[in-house]
Amino acid sequence: MTGYSEALIDHFEHPRNAGAMDDPDAEAFVTNPVCGDSMRIFLRIEDERVAAASFLTSGCPASIGTSSAATELVTGRTLDEAVALTREDYADAVGGLPKSKIHCSVLAAAAVREAVETWRKEHADAAAGAAS
């Protein structure tokens, strides 16, 4: 795996928080339009904060490594902090990515945002329903 950092290779070979989560509070499935690789993320949300995260990714080492790093990065953060993380933050978390692989960190950023947005929408709808 030429061009990958030691951190990326470590995340790829020993993914953190890999696997589905039982009864998650939020989840999202995203596909990278460039290559077709995909990621499903699961979040446990408590008090507007990510209490736990896990993932299933079908893709290249860079997408699996950044998915793994993303679950560590978002855990403990507020939802605002989690959605503010960029693909550059996820790439930095694995020691950077080779130029040809920069697009691979898009999956993690998109999945986190979509999961949080879906959760917020569901809870806004629930709150609106409770108020009516």
- List the catalytic residues: 35, 104
Which CB atom, from 52 or from 60, has the smaller least distance to ligand FES?
60
Please name which of 113, 86, 127, 96 lies closest in space to residue 28, comparing C-alpha atoms: 113
Q: Is 104 in the site for ligand FES (CB under 6 A)?
A: yes
Alpha carbon separation from 129 to 51, 88, 93 (Å, rounded): 26, 38, 40
Stretch that binds ligand FES, among 5-13, 72-80, 99-107, 119-127 (CB under 6 A): 99-107
Nearer to ligand FES, 50 or 104 (CB): 104
- 63 interacts with ligand FES by CB under 6 A: yes
Whole-angstrom distance, CA of residue 120 vs CA of residue 92: 27
